[in-house]
């Protein structure tokens, strides 16, 4: 069956091209500005660079101490993701298989954690972290991100587990396995698509977050990449060449992770909406 190329198809192609250009424009601006000096940015910010310079990248790396900042961001993001996956998947397994009022009530409670913005509790959370002596520490940030992202993680895992047949875990328990063994050895390996989705969505949020590390880690040796890059922007002087060069360097690690896990994102997210 051949499809006719008509006027509507032509208009649809034009719309898709326009959408693609709209998404590509920020990438073009980011790379272009990172290759320009101050004078060229001031005179022609969006034109192609006449004399590209890669010195902004080395200057941004040294002046913002991006090496240590990348280690800080990696440590906070990686440990937070491990805790989210371990706690979120097991909690979701209980909620998906517990057909009681308690299970339903807990699930609704976690859904409220998605609806309510965390900014509402920013002041009491800050006071709690300060009282616990966790300001300026990895532990404080990991606990914060785990608590903030746990409802969303449980929501994705619960929908996916509900779509899985319960026969796999039941067969394992008939053979003598407990609930924990049935989950870790049978159910969790089947959660690979949604785990990839949980990884990339939470990693992007944690890695790119600026306000929370500025509040909890500002002035300490454990500042993350967005906070260090912000040092290039002042009240009177702003070196945007270094800012955009730093943004390019900061985006590369999370871009690599996204490219490796992108095939799981749509598949896992769509499955997480079931049930």
Q: How confident is the model at residue 19 (pLDDT cuts 50, 70, 90)?
A: very high
More confident residue, 115 or 198: 198
Give me the pLDDT at residue 275, please: 43
Q: Residue for token digits 């040294």?
A: 62
pLDDT over 90, % of the chain: 20
pLDDT tens-digit readout, 243-268: 888 888 888 888 888 887 777 666 65
pLDDT tens-digit readout, 156-183: 898 888 888 878 778 878 877 777 888 8
9-23, 100-114, 239-253: range with highest mean pLDDT: 9-23
d(CA 143, CA 80) in angstroms, rounded, equals 8
For every residue of 91-152, DSSP letters joined together read HHHHHHH--SHHHHHHHHHHHHHHHS-GGGGHHHHHHHHHHTT-TTSHHHHHHHHHHHHHHH
pLDDT tens-digit readout, 25-68: 988 888 888 888 877 877 777 888 887 888 888 888 888 788 89
User: 3-state class of 273 per DSSP?
Assistant: coil
Give me the pLDDT at residue 88, please: 93
d(CA 179, CA 207) in angstroms, rounded, equals 34
Q: Residue for token digits 């937070």?
A: 80
d(CA 89, CA 194) in angstroms, rounded, equals 10
Mean pLDDT of 186-193: 86
Write down the pTM of the prediction: 0.83
d(CA 166, CA 146) in angstroms, rounded, equals 28
List beta partners, residue 233: 238
Give me the pLDDT at residue 1, please: 46
């Amino acid at each position: 069956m051949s499809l006719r190329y008509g006027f509507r198809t032509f208009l649809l192609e034009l719309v898709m091209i326009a959408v693609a250009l709209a998404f590509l424009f920020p990438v073009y601006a980011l790379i272009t500005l990172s290759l320009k000096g101050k004078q060229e940015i001031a005179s022609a910010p969006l034109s192609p660079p006449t004399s590209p310079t890669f010195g902004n990248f080395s200057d941004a790396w040294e002046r913002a101490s991006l090496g240590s900042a990348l280690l800080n961001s990696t440590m906070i993001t990686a440990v937070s993701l491990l805790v989210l996956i371990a706690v979120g998947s097991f909690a979701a397994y209980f909620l998906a298989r517990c057909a009681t009022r308690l299970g339903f009530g807990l699930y609704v409670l976690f859904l409220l954690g998605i609806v309510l913005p965390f900014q509402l509790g920013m002041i009491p959370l800050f006071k709690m972290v300060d009282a616990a002596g966790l300001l300026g520490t990895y532990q404080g940030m990991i606990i914060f991100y785990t608590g903030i992202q746990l409802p969303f993680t449980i929501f994705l895992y619960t929908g996916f587990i509900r779509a899985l047949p319960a026969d796999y875990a039941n067969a394992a328990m008939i053979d003598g396995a407990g609930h924990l063994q049935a989950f870790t050895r049978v159910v969790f390996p089947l959660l690979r698509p949604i785990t990839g989705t949980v990884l990339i969505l939470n990693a992007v949020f944690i890695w790119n977050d600026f306000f929370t590390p500025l509040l909890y880690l500002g002035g300490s040796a454990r500042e993350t990449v967005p906070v260090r890059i912000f040092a290039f922007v002042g009240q009177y002087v702003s070196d945007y060449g270094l800012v955009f060069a730093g943004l390019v360097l900061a985006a590369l690690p999370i871009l690599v992770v996204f490219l490796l896990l992108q095939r799981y994102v749509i598949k896992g997210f769509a499955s997480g909406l079931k049930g």
